[in-house]
Amino acid sequence: MARKKPSRTFRNPVPTVDIIIEIKDKRGKPGIILIERKNPPRGWALPGGFVDYGETLESAAAREAEEETSLKVDLKYQLHTYSDPGRDPRLHTISTIFVAAAKGTPKAQDDARDIGIFQPKDIPFPLAFDHNKILDDYVRLKKKKKIEAGKTARKPREPS
């Protein structure tokens, strides 16, 4: 009788998305939305979550933004992808970050306990995951004017 070859088990990182939502507060001052997480790891974070099977990154970003903030967003561009195996204490994730625009009043929904509009430079507390690093990169790139519509960043498109 032939011996059965042992099967290999693969462990792969899990794809996620996070969204930097640019919005004006009640006074008309520009800021970004952060959510306070209901579930571990607790703390404040960018809206985001897991990509569903059969879903594009762009669709996942729009879905997660609406599920957590109640707002429909316009994805402006993809900022960067973060893949440090320790970025999420639950498991190894790879997160693609989108910058989006929204109008309206955000409401905490789904996985969000609370919600707020903040100036990135005025966030006085550490954020969940690696979101401090993500926001530092976002602010640094905006200051360097590396991200200008139509020049170095392209609006993400859905595949046809």
Q: Is the pLDDT of residue 77 over 90?
A: yes
In sequence order, which residues have a C-beta less than 8 Å from that of residue 122 and are 6 or more positions away? none
- The tokens of 76 are what? 């402006």
Q: Tokens for 67?
A: 């599920």
Q: List, as one string, the DSSP characters of the chain.
A: -PPPPPPP----PEEEEEEEEEEE-TTS-EEEEEEEESSSSPEEE-SEEEPPTT--HHHHHHHHHHHHHS---EEEEEEEEE--TTSSSSS-EEEEEEEEE--S-----TTEEEEEEE-GGG--SPPSTTHHHHHHHHHHHHHTT---BTTTB-------
Q: Which of 97-101, 113-117, 142-146 has the lowest mean pLDDT?
A: 142-146
Q: What pLDDT digit, counting tens, does each position of 92-105 carry?
A: 999 999 999 999 99
Whether 149 has a pLDDT exceeding 80, the answer reads: no
Tokens of residue 23, six digits: 């919005």
Confidence check: pLDDT of 148 > 60: no
% residues pLDDT > 70 (the chain): 89
Which domains are seen in the chain, by residue range? 14-143 (3.90.79.10)
Gap between the Cα atoms of 37 and 111, Å rounded = 6
